[in-house]
Amino acid sequence: MTYAEKRTRAHFQNAFIKMIKEIGYSKITVRKLVEYADYNRTSFYRYYNNLDELSSEIINYIVGTFYDSFDKNSSDYKNATSQIYANIYENRDYFDLLALDDTIPQLKEEFIMCIEKILDEGIIESDEHEILNNKYLYSFYAHGTFGIIQTWIKSGYTLDYKIFSKYIYKSFTHSIYINPKISVFTDKNL
């Protein structure tokens, strides 16, 4: 791919992201996008067959960037977590889409599945690894992590990513205690 092709694709992506933030995904058409991007339809169709293809490219970028930011060889989870959230902050124009209601379909689901994949691959370990090696707990942690990230994004990234990463680190390294006196969960139910 030539530099000009990369630049044009990046321009369409940036225009698409800005439009999603301004009017929502559901209101965007190819016609509106090319007008907003100040290109013509022929240029758009040279690179994409439809908006779904452009959406997939953005989903793959967000999920791929998040997944690749995990240092799978690091034994320092605290530092690795900080790198992950520095990456989100550096790519916030893309990651902002996770906090919108009218965003790219399947983006949030794909992102949560990425977190589950990271957990399943054992990239994040715990002293209680046998307990964490459970698809239900992976789902719980993935949705919780997504919720924390989404809250951070919605706050406008008000916490520095280093401080924010400490919250994530604590959420993964501390066990959840359920008071048996008030819990609806009992050994009989589990």
Q: Which residue has the higher pLDDT, 25 or 86?
A: 25
* 62 and 25 co-located in one domain: no
Q: Which residue has the higher pLDDT, 90 or 69?
A: 90
* 85 and 157 co-located in one domain: yes
Does 183 fall in a domain? no
Q: Which residue has the higher pLDDT, 69 or 76?
A: 69
pLDDT at position 125: 52
* 14 and 72 co-located in one domain: no
Does 182 fall in a domain? no
pLDDT at position 183: 41
Stated length of the chain: 190
Mean pLDDT of the chain: 84
User: Model's pTM, two decimal places?
Assistant: 0.83
Q: Which residue has the higher pLDDT, 71 or 149?
A: 149
**167 pLDDT more than 90:** no
* 36 and 74 co-located in one domain: no
Percentage, residues of the chain above pLDDT 70: 78
When pLDDT is cut at 50, 70 and 90, the band that residue 15 belongs to is very high
* 60 and 44 co-located in one domain: no
Count: domains in the chain: 2
Cβ-proximal residues to 180 (8 Å cutoff; 6+ apart), any chain = 186
pLDDT at position 120: 77
pLDDT at position 65: 94
Quick one: tokens of 105? 């379909």
Sign of the CA dihedral with 79 first, then 80, 81, and 85 last: positive
Its domain, for residue 148, covers: 56-173
